[in-house]
Amino acid sequence: MPAVTCGKSRSRKLEGIYITHFMEQVLQHSSKNNGISNHEDAKNLESLGITEEHTLLRLIADGLPASRDSKLFIKDLHFDEVPVRIYLPRVPSANKRRGVLVFHGGCGIFGSIKLDSSLLPPYRLSPDHKYPAQTLDCLAATVHFLKTAENYGVDPDRIIICGDSAGGTFTASVCQELANRRDIPKIRAQVLIYPLLQALNFNLPSHQKNGFIAFLSQERAVYFVLKYLNKDCSMKEAILAGSHVPESINLKYRKWINPDLIPEVFRLDYKPPLPTSFLPQVHEETKELFETRFSPLLAEDAVVCCLPDTCIITCEHDVLRDDGLLYKKRLEDNNIKVTWHHIQEGFHCALGFFGYGIFSFPSSSKIVNHTVNFIKGY
């Protein structure tokens, strides 16, 4: 498969041109189905106040062509009223197969299951549906599948959950919610691909190192968190400075969210942020950020010690890199089997480019290969 290299030898300027060209092509593709003529028209919609940014992001994401595979039987169903798409091999198997649940990323704001002529979101999207509707939909679909897996030729004891970005958040949250359930089969394993796992500290080494990286910068990460929660985005500066966290919460979770817990090789040139007492405190307005379903890193050891085998994939050029590193340590400290892969040239959203010919990065293929190889072990 032809691919454009995005390693250290390419300049940021050239990479920026490449990314811009890709997004323009997506918008042009979208215009054929959505009545928007070009990139400028899409920008005008936002500047004129006709549509909001999350709508434009959905337009871009939904403009990507759907993938089909003749070896698979594809069917759209509902699991406990949650729309899902099932992929089943056409070749029958004498034994029950493993099952894999995939939660897409997109900050809980955009992303979908693609059909040839329409779109079917696998969970309700924010801000149209308020938090925690997204996590609850993922949980409901998972429980339904665990209970009915055999109807689809799946061994209920070989079910794996995967998710990238916000999908990784939902995956971690669902596994924690089900960790101590005794009335349904256990999740066999989970795959977390550059996940968001905490919202207390946005000044970890990876936030500083990759603060201005393409696709997901430090500021954009906080902005999307606020959009997802339907909060006032003017609180962004306070959250970036840590003014949203009460001192009691900081003290309680410092044992788990602390730059000193990150391997030294990832802390090179890190500088602790200076105090910013002049910013307003927004503790009450952001209390959802301290819930474990939003910040799985905050879960108690009694829950973490019961989690399934885990694969964590982090990327060097990702503002959320350290969330994965900190969760890896928490799991290992609780004797959970962890398989960790770090993509040196990888970046946030790299997985979304997989399978798009010259627009697919080498890191995209590495993420897929690591995920597939892990799943094959179960």
State the catalytic residue, choosing from 112, 348, 360, 370: 348
Query: Is 356 in contact with 67 (CB distance < 8 Å)?
Result: no
Structural tokens at position 186: 């256990």
Cα–Cα distance list, 352 to 60, 85, 155, 179, 270 (Å)? 12, 18, 29, 29, 29
State the catalytic residue, choosing from 62, 318, 322, 323: 318
Q: Left, alpha or beta for 65 (phi > 0: left; psi -120 to 50: alpha)?
A: beta
Query: Is 218 in contact with 207 (CB distance < 8 Å)?
Result: yes
CA atoms of 322 and 123, how far apart (whole Å): 27
318 given a catalytic annotation: yes
Element counts in the chain: helices (H) and strands (E): 12, 9
Query: Is 318 in contact with 372 (CB distance < 8 Å)?
Result: no
DSSP calls for 178-219: HTT--SSPPP-EEEEES----SS-S-SHHHHHTTT-SSS-HH
Q: Which residue shows structure tokens 């919609």?
A: 45
Query: Is 308 in contact with 178 (CB distance < 8 Å)?
Result: no
Q: Which amino acid is at 237?
A: E
| Residue closest to 61 by CA, chosen among 84, 17, 21, 30 | 30
State the catalytic residue, choosing from 165, 243, 295, 364: 165
Kindly report the backbone phi and psi dihedral angles of residue 230, in degrees, each rounded to the nearest multiple of 5, phi listed first.
60, 40
341 given a catalytic annotation: no
Q: Which amino acid is at 259?
A: P
CA atoms of 301 and 86, how far apart (whole Å): 34
Cα–Cα distance list, 25 to 4, 31, 63, 112, 222 (Å)? 16, 10, 9, 19, 27
348 given a catalytic annotation: yes
Catalytic residues: 165, 318, 348
